[in-house]
């Protein structure tokens, strides 16, 4: 964790202000970790409604996408420090042990397993729009010995997802998922209504990335920069800023923590993560790079697979910790 902003907002929907920045994905589903290498060139406001078809990464994750599931699991392993710091920040604000948690857009279960492990008295409700992701999550929860404290729900965050929750929750977790929805402001109002007074919402997003070395070890100067620029041209990764939107949804106070995620090919997990990521991104940008750049990128991917690469990617992560005030004044327009 490198920096924390503390922003206090009032309890009503009017007169709020704030600043910040954010990423992309599927409705109530896993984030697209394969686009982590691009800079944050695509952003949208929290109030802009849109269809999933007109933005990259929106819509449920494809069924049977085994590479995506592996990528998300690797992302969890490599980003363990960020995840731990985010959990610690949430625990510090909560003050007491949560008993009921909802994981919004749970994907393969990275957040769910971490939440169940960090808060052993809690039951976690894991929501996602992709059945195969939830199947993966269920198996992982059983393996981790927390299956009895995890309930999965196949549901879309653009719908009435709060209906599946048996009661108000203590903690809501939205890791790289809020940007997936068509109306984030509505989802924030729903999250506010789903939380008990004093409950906490955690939202995480990426904030840009870079490659080291810039030639990706290919000897072709600037290859990494051209890859990130080409991905940015396709809107990857999507970024979003939630400080203002959280205040407008009546959360107060709102903290923003700046963290970083590091994946290096000097480890087996890092090399596999980068190989999958670059392979998936190659298909996206094949028409945007020269033949020589594509050949060099192919060589980089082969080197990653052979364990002979020293490529590294560093991406920023922003974590918002937002509180539903203890003041029980009804939030106008809250969806519950």
How high is the mean pLDDT in each 10-residue block of the chain (336 residues)?
47 31 35 37 33 42 62 82 93 95 95 97 97 94 98 96 94 93 96 97 89 95 94 79 96 95 93 93 94 97 96 91 80 46
169-175 and 100-104 beta bridge pairing = parallel
- Which H or E element spans position 229? helix 223-233
Report residue 78: phi and psi, to 5°: -75, -25
Q: Which domains are present in the chain?
A: 66-324 (3.40.50.150)
| The pLDDT value given to residue 216 | 96
In terms of C-beta density within 10 A (0-12 exposed, 13-18 middle, 19 or more buried), how is residue 210 classed?
middle
Tokens of 24: 């992309």
| The pLDDT value given to residue 90 | 96
Contact 29, 107 (CB under 8 A): yes
| The pLDDT value given to residue 52 | 38
| The pLDDT value given to residue 16 | 30
Distance of CA 268 to the CA centre of its chain: 23
- Which H or E element spans position 269? helix 268-285
| The pLDDT value given to residue 63 | 44
Please state, in angstroms and rounded to a whole number, the distance separating the CA atoms of residues 33 and 271: 14
| The pLDDT value given to residue 13 | 30
Report residue 5: phi and psi, to 5°: -100, 135
| The pLDDT value given to residue 66 | 60
DSSP strands (E only) in the chain = 3-7, 42-43, 100-104, 123-128, 150-154, 169-175, 195-212, 238-239, 254-264, 312-323
Residues composing the chain: 336
| The pLDDT value given to residue 167 | 87
């Amino acid at each position: 964790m490198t920096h924390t902003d503390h922003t206090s907002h009032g309890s009503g929907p009017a007169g709020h202000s704030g600043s910040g920045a954010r990423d992309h994905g599927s409705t109530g589903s896993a984030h697209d970790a394969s686009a982590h290498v691009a800079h944050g060139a695509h952003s949208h406001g929290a109030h802009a409604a849109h269809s999933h078809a007109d933005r990259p990464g929106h819509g449920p994750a494809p069924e049977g996408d085994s590479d995506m599931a592996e990528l998300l699991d690797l992302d969890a392993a490599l980003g363990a420090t960020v995840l731990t710091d985010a959990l610690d920040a949430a625990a510090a604000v909560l003050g007491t042990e949560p008993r009921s948690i909802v994981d919004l857009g749970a994907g393969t279960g990275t957040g769910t397993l971490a939440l169940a492990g960090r808060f052993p008295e809690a039951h976690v409700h894991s929501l996602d729009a992709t059945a195969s992701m939830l199947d993966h999550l269920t198996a992982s929860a059983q393996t981790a010995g927390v299956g009895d404290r995890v309930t999965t729900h196949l549901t879309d965050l653009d719908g009435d997802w709060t209906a599946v929750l048996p009661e108000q929750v203590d903690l809501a977790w939205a890791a790289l998922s809020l940007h997936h929805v068509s109306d984030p402001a509505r989802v924030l109002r729903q999250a506010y209504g789903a939380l008990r007074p004093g409950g906490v919402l955690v939202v995480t997003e990426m904030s840009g990335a870079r490659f080291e070395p810039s030639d990706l070890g290919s000897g072709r100067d600037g290859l990494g920069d051209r890859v990130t620029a080409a991905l940015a041209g396709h809107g990857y990764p999507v970024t979003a800023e939630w400080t203002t939107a959280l205040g407008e949804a009546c959360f107060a106070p709102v903290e923003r923590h700046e963290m970083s995620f590091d994946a290096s090919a000097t480890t087996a997990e890092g090399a596999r993560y980068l190989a999958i990521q670059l392979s998936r991104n190659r298909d996206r940008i094949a028409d945007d790079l020269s033949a020589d750049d594509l050949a060099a990128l192919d060589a980089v991917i082969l080197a990653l697979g052979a364990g002979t690469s020293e490529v590294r990617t560093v991406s920023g992560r922003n974590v918002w910790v937002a509180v539903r005030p203890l003041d029980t004044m009804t939030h106008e327009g809250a969806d519950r």
